[in-house]
Amino acid sequence: MVYFDHAATTTVRPEAIAAMTDQFGVLGNASSLHGAGRRARRVVEESREEIADALRCTPNEVVFTSGGTEADNLAIKGLYWARNAADRARRRVLVSAVEHHAVLDPARWIADHQGAVCEELPVDGYGRVAPETLRAAIEQEPADVALVSVMWANNEVGTIQPVAELAAVAAEYGIPFHTDAVQAVGVLPVDFAASGVSALTLSGHKLGGPTGAGALLLARGVDPVPVLHGGGQEREVRSGTLTTPLLRGLATAVGLAVAERDHHAAELAALRDELIGAVREAVPDSTLNGHPTDRLAGNAHIAFPGCEGDALLMLLDAQGIECSTGSACSAGVSQPSHVLLAMGADPDTARGSLRLSLGRGSTRADIAALARALGPIVERARKARAKRH
């Protein structure tokens, strides 16, 4: 198997597996007051401290969740409800047009069901939101903006956003700024305090941790209305029994990913550039989507003219080469990428692109295997599409 879908999920690190294995056999609910509960709570709080140290925040700013989708929903819905409750005029929610559906869908849901006004910020041809674009949108009705959400780096095309600049614009107007940093942590320098953001989403399974564990970092004074109600865990922001083993694995993976970030990112960038070169040699008219340099180190998102992305994916999969056409959360839905359409791509390009994402375990041999297979597969896909049209 050749795996080019690390942006969807990546290998759980052996250190994280070992850390979780040690905890799975230990009895104790971290909310219990007896000895077993206190021992579990100690593991949870040590995990919280490790994540806080890695991402430059304080431990009480780390709210554990089940992953990125829950954290994004808590940020979008919870911050909107909190701001709107304080001032009913605050109805506008500004999100970039290239957000993951874990941000777009809750923003659209509160517009449909909670009286919000969801406004999608336009992006340039690389998929970036310019600070002046955000400022212009805010200044239409500054007092009416409840929150802003722009991802740190795009999950499909890999373009990196000017998050600190965007957060600074929002701060000028006293507006909380959320960023989905699921793809960024462990690959880019993510410093919560220095970035100026109010809330930040991360997910374990994107960086070598377990599926089912993530966090929402919340700056002091940023208190979303809970989406889940129950036991009042996690600052009464996110109720639910804390999954001690998974949180131990999450913290282990975050700590290692951040510690190894510079070396790992340099290795990935070199492999990515080799991959792009190999694809261009095999398919000369292929084009790279997203920013050519300000992009995630392991991301190569490439358009293949005259092809259907789904057909390419299945033909590659038949030869043991696994990749994606975009977000795994939208897999199986045959429609043009909303990210590429927002960037100004035509529908054919938006349908005819593949995301090839690298991670730990990716090798030059993987790239060579793709290069050998790609030319004939593209030719076959083009012939099949021409027959249908």
Is residue 145 within a helix (H) or strand (E), and if so which, with residue range? Answer: strand 145-149
Annotated active-site residue 57? The verdict is no
pLDDT at 328 over 60: no
Q: What is the pLDDT, as a whole number, of residue 317? A: 98
Read off the pLDDT band of 327 (50, 70, 90). Answer: low
Q: Are 162 and 197 in contact (CB under 8 A)?
A: no
Closest CA to 168 of 177, 155, 159, 160: 177
Closest CA to 237 of 25, 82, 12: 82
Strands (E), the chain: 2-3, 62-65, 92-96, 117-121, 145-149, 177-180, 199-203, 214-218, 287-289, 299-303, 321-322, 353-357
Q: What is the pLDDT, as a whole number, of residue 388? A: 81
Mean pLDDT in residue range 20-24 = 97
Q: What is the pLDDT, as a whole number, of residue 329? A: 53
Contacts of residue 385, defined as CB under 8 A and 6 or more positions apart, other chains included, come to 306, 307, 308, 311
Mean pLDDT in residue range 344-364 = 96
What pTM did the predictor assign?
0.96
Q: What is the pLDDT, as a whole number, of residue 384? A: 87
Q: What is the pLDDT, as a whole number, of residue 211? A: 98
Which tens digit of pLDDT belongs to each residue from 231-281?
Answer: 999 999 999 999 999 999 999 999 999 999 999 999 999 999 999 999 999
Q: What is the pLDDT, as a whole number, of residue 375? A: 96
Torsion angles phi and psi, residue 344, rounded to 5 = 100, 5
pLDDT at 331 over 90: no
Q: Go through the domains of the chain in sequence order and give each one's CATH number.
A: 2-9+261-388 (3.90.1150.10), 14-259 (3.40.640.10)
Q: What is the pLDDT, as a whole number, of residue 65? A: 98
Q: What is the pLDDT, as a whole number, of residue 385? A: 87
Radius of gyration over every alpha carbon of the chain, rounded to an integer in angstroms: 21
Please pick, among 57, 118, 323, 329, the residue that the annotation labels catalytic.
329
Torsion angles phi and psi, residue 245, rounded to 5 = -60, -45
Q: What is the pLDDT, as a whole number, of residue 282? A: 98
Contacts of residue 170, defined as CB under 8 A and 6 or more positions apart, other chains included, come to 134, 138, 148, 176, 177
Give the Å distances, CA to CA, from 198 to 62, 176, 216, 291: 12, 5, 10, 26
pLDDT at 220 over 80: yes
Top-confidence residue, 386 or 11 = 11
Q: In what order do the strands lie in the sheet with 145-149?
A: 62-65, 214-218, 199-203, 177-180, 145-149, 92-96, 117-121
Closest CA to 149 of 173, 121, 178, 111: 178
Secondary structure letter of residue 17 according to DSSP: H
Q: Are 172 and 140 in contact (CB under 8 A)?
A: no
Which tens digit of pLDDT belongs to each residue from 159-217?
Answer: 999 999 999 999 999 999 999 999 999 999 999 999 999 999 999 999 999 999 999 99
- Parallel, antiparallel or unpaired: strands 299-303 and 353-357: antiparallel
Q: Are 152 and 160 in contact (CB under 8 A)?
A: yes
Read off the pLDDT band of 386 (50, 70, 90). Answer: confident
Q: What is the pLDDT, as a whole number, of residue 334? A: 63
Which tens digit of pLDDT belongs to each residue from 100-152?
Answer: 999 999 999 999 999 999 999 999 999 999 999 999 999 999 999 999 999 99
pLDDT at 155 over 60: yes
The CA-CA-CA angle for residues 200, 355, 370, to 5°, reads: 140
Burial class (CB in 10 A: 0-12, 13-18, 19+), 24: exposed
pLDDT at 11 over 60: yes
Read off the pLDDT band of 332 (50, 70, 90). Answer: low
Which tens digit of pLDDT belongs to each residue from 54-105?
Answer: 999 999 999 999 999 999 999 999 999 999 999 999 999 999 999 999 999 9
In the chain, pLDDT over 70 holds for what percent of residues?
A: 98
Q: Are 146 and 80 in contact (CB under 8 A)?
A: yes
* SS3 at position 300: strand
Contacts of residue 100, defined as CB under 8 A and 6 or more positions apart, other chains included, come to 68, 72, 151, 155, 180, 182, 327, 329
* SS3 at position 346: coil
Task: Report the amino acid identity of residue 73.
Answer: N
CA distance 96 to 151: 8
Torsion angles phi and psi, residue 75, rounded to 5 = -65, -50
Task: Flag the least confident range among 18-27, 177-186, 319-328, 336-345.
Answer: 319-328
Which tens digit of pLDDT belongs to each residue from 281-313?
Answer: 999 999 999 999 999 999 999 999 999 999 999
